[in-house]
Structure 1
Amino acid sequence: MASTNPECRPIPVEGGGEGGEEGGGSLGLGSTRPAVVLAPEQQFQDRQILVDFADQVVIPAYEQLAADTQALSQAIQAFVKDPNPRTLEAARQAWSVARITWEESEAFAFGPAASLGLDANLDEWPLNEVEVLEVLESGDPLAPGMVADLESGQKGFHAVAFLLFGVNNDKSLEDFTERDREYLAAVSSVLADTAEKLLKGWTEGVEGLPPFREEWVRAGEGSNSYLTLQAAAEEIAQGILGMLDELGNVKIGEAFARQNPFLLESRFAHHSLPEFQANVRSVQYAYLGGFRGRQGRGLSQFVRGIEPVLDDQIQLQFQEVAAALQGIPAPMEKSLCDANARSSITAAMEQIQRAFDGFSQGVVPLLQQ
Structure 2
Amino acid sequence: MTASFRFASRKPLAAAIALSASMFTGAALAEHHGDAHDKALTADAVVAQYANVAHATYSDALASANALRAANAALIESPSDETLSAARAAWKQARVAYQQSEVFRFGNAIVDDWEGQLNAWPLDEGLIDYVEGDGYQAELGNPGASANIIASDSVQIGADKIDTTEITPELLASLNELGGFEANVASGYHAIEFLLWGQDMHGFEAGAGERPATDFAKGDACTADNCDRRGAYLLAANDLLISDLEYMVGQWAQGEKDNYRAELTSLPAGEGLEKMLFGMGSLSLGELAGERMKVALEANSYEDEHDCFSDNTHYSHFYNAKGIQNVYEGKYVTLDGRTFEGPSLHALVAQNDPELAEKMHEALDTTMGQLQVMVDTAEADGGMKFDQMIAPGNAEGAEIINASIQDLVAQTRLIEEIAGTVGIDGLEADTADHEF
Fold-level match, TM-score > 0.5?
yes
TM-score after normalising by structure 1:
0.80
1:132-281 alignment, distance < 5 Å: 132-133=128-129, 134=147, 135-139=149-153, 140-151=165-176, 153-168=185-200, 169-176=209-216, 177=224, 178=227, 179-203=229-253, 210-219=258-267, 228-245=268-285, 246-281=287-322
Q: For 1:269, what is the secondary structure of its paired residue?
A: coil
Q: How well do the aligned residues superpose, as a CA RMSD in angstroms?
A: 2.2
Match of 2:31 in 1: none
Deviation readout 1:91-143 (Å, 9 max, x if unpaired): 111111111210011111225323xx321111111222132232223222213
Alpha-carbon separation, structure 1, partners of 2:45 and 2:235: 42
**Aligned counterparts of 1:142 and 1:249: Cα–Cα separation in 2:** 35
The aligned counterpart of 2:330 is 289
Q: Distance in 1 between matches of 2:420 and 2:230?
A: 47
Partner of 2:206: none
- State the alpha-carbon separation in 2 of the partners of residues 340 and 112 from structure 1: 40
Deviation at 1:265, TM superposition (A): 0.8
Q: Which residue number corresponds to residue 50 of structure 1?
A: 47
8 Å CA contact retained: 1:303, 1:363: no
Conserved in 1, the CA contact under 8 Å of 2:117 and 2:173? no
User: What secondary structure, in the 3-state scheme, does the structure 1 residue paired with 2:274 have?
Assistant: helix
Gap regions ≥5 residues in structure 1: 1-41, 220-227
> C-alpha separation between the residues in 2 aligned to 1:111 and 1:71?
28
Q: Distance in 1 between matches of 2:213 and 2:420?
A: 50
CA shift digits 1:321-342 (9 cap, x unpaired): 1111222331212222133322
Q: Deviations over 1:19-40 (max 9, x none)?
A: xxxxxxxxxxxxxxxxxxxxxx
Report SS of the residue matched to 1:363: helix
Q: Secondary structure at the match of 1:149?
A: helix
Q: Deviations over 1:208-262 (max 9, x none)?
A: x92111111112xxxxxxxx21111100000000110111111001000101011
2:93 matched residue in structure 1: 97
Q: Residue 217 of structure 1 aligns to which amino acid in structure 2?
A: T
Q: Greater shift after overlay, 195-204 or 313-322?
A: 195-204
Q: Percent identity?
A: 22
Distance 2:73 2:396 in 1: 42
**Cα distance between partner residues in 2 of 1:356 and 1:204:** 30
Aligned to 2:390: 336
Following superposition, the deviation at residue 58 of structure 1 comes to 0.6
Q: Aligned in 2, Cα 1:325/1:210: closer, same or farther, shift over 3 Å?
A: same
Structure 2 CA distance for partners of 1:103 and 1:72, relative to 1, 3 Å: same
Specify the code of the residue in structure 2 equivalent to 1:144. P
Runs of 4+ in 1 over 4 A off after TM superposition: none
Farther off after superposition, 191-200 or 169-178: 169-178
| TM-score (normalised: structure 2) | 0.68
- Worse overlay, 196-205 or 177-186: 196-205
Post-superposition Cα deviations, 1:261-303, rounded to whole Å, max 9, x if no partner, equal: 1101111110110010001110011111121121111211111
On the 8 A contact 1:104/1:279 being kept in 2, the answer is: yes
Q: Give the drift of 1:155.
A: 0.2
Contact 1:324 1:347 in 2 (8 A): yes
Structure 1 pair 230–359 and aligned structure 2 pair: CA distance change class (3 A) = same
> What secondary structure does 1:277 align onto?
helix
SS at match of 2:341: coil
CA deviation digits over 1:38-63, x for unaligned, max 9?
xxxx9x952111111112x0111111
TM-fit CA distance, 1:346: 1.4
Q: How many residues align?
A: 315
Residue 358 (structure 1) aligned with residue 355 (structure 2):
no
The correspondence for 1:68, drawn from 57, 60, 64, is 64
Aligned equivalent of 2:110: 112
Q: Is the 8 A contact 1:121 1:155 kept in 2?
A: yes
2:372 to 309, 326, 332: 326
From the superposition, tell whether residues 74 and 148 of structure 1 become closer, same or farther in structure 2 (CA, over 3 Å): farther
Q: Report the CA distance between 1:151 and its aligned residue.
A: 1.3
Q: How far apart in 2 are the matches of 1:87 and 1:196?
A: 26
Other-structure match for 1:308: 354
Q: What SS does the corresponding residue of 2:167 show, helix, strand or coil?
A: coil
Q: Which has the higher contact order (CA 8 A, sep 6+)?
A: 1
Q: How does 1:122-133 map to 2 (within 5 A)?
A: 122-133=118-129
CA contact (8 A) 1:104 1:281 kept: yes
Cα distance change of structure 1 residues 217 and 191 upon mapping to structure 2, 3 Å threshold: same
SS of alignment partner, residue 294 of structure 1: strand
